[in-house]
Amino acid sequence: MYSVETVPAHLEQTAAQVLVASHLGKRFGERVAVDDVSFAVAAGETYGLLGPNGAGKTTTIRLICGLLRPDAGQTLIAGQPVSTTATAAKSCIGYVPQEIALYPDLTARENLRFFGRLYGLHGKALNHRVGKVLELIGLSERGRDRVESFSGGMKRRLNIGAGLLHEPTLLVLDEPTVGVDPQSRHAVMESVRSFGAAGMAVLYTTHYMEEAERLCDRVGIIDHGRLVAEGTRRELVAQLGEHDHIQLTATGDLAALADRCRAIEGIDRADVKDGQVQLLAVEGRRLLPAVLEAAERIGTTVRSVEVAEPDLEAVFLHLTGTALRE
């Protein structure tokens, strides 16, 4: 373990930071899977790692969890350096892979007891944690049922439960809602939200933009192995500017309406295109009353208004040129 004096400057970790990944790199033959990736996750923070298929998300997670040896860089978890043999650092991690890692012929409780013993739990402490975890994931009433009888969503929740038994400092979730129904997906997201609220650091990868919007305090966007952007939702959206796009479908003199709109403070652009008046404005919804009043003054009737606010999806498309699946 590094002492405070021997930690390299670029790996220094504050008390609030649970995970510090610094300049991680991994190559498979000629293919660079992870290229100089650095980020940190604090206690109580949910950090989302977004990227297209093949962008390097899962490889990055495996490096962080010590399942792969990096070609460059290093990871610290709770101040402990991570390696493929670093048991001290790994004991701080709850890793939930994409695959369901459960025994279908065992009950939910039996699965958790098995994994709990692997974590070194025994006796009353093990029984207490199994009961607590079943409660956390909403499966207390199904604890004695075999996993083979569970729905896909219930299996996902139990998969997460197995990673919570030892009360990890860092919970790593690799696409935990893939293939589940909307109700189970909601239940998984509510569980993850509660983990962050309880002070746990969570590293979360997903293909669903809605999940990143709802759950993640900060987001890192990874593409072709590189972290191309990082920040809160507001910080990332600010890269595209704070402008809303407003489309007005109207009858009457559209050119005159566009001229009137250009005179409204806060509207930076007004054009007539495809039979619509298209506006670019800061806080567009706030300006709608003024826009409608301008239309009324020149006898133009607005039939419909559509406001498109900048969002994380727009940032992702801008940076990667690829859409996440819906």
Q: Where are the domains of the chain?
A: 9-92+168-237, 242-309
What is the per-residue pLDDT across 80-91, written as a single tens digit (0 to 9) for each? 999 999 899 999
Q: Which pLDDT score is estimated for 324?
A: 53
Distance CA 90, CA 289 (A): 57
Q: 24 forms bridges with which residues in the sheet?
A: 37
What is the per-residue pLDDT across 119-139, written as a single tens digit (0 to 9) for each? 999 999 999 999 999 998 989
Q: Report domain 242-309's class.
A: alpha beta
Distances (CA, A) of 159 to 63, 114, 141, 231, 280: 21, 13, 17, 29, 46
Q: Which two tokens stand for residue 119?
A: 């974590």
Nearest to 84 by CA among 103, 62, 99, 108: 62
Distance CA 20, CA 106 (A): 37
What is the per-residue pLDDT across 174-223, written as a single tens digit (0 to 9) for each? 988 887 888 888 888 888 888 888 899 999 998 788 889 899 999 999 99
Distance CA 47, CA 92 (A): 17
Buried b (16+ CB within 10 A) or exposed e, 104-117: eeebbbbbbbebbe
With cut-offs at 50, 70 and 90, classify the pLDDT of residue 10. very low
Task: Give the number of other CB atoms < 10 A from CB of residue 125.
Answer: 11
Could you tell me which CATH number the domain at 9-92+168-237 has? 3.40.50.300
> What secondary structure letter does DSSP report for 146?
B
Query: Strands 218-223 and 201-205: what pairing?
Result: unpaired
Distance CA 94, CA 170 (A): 6
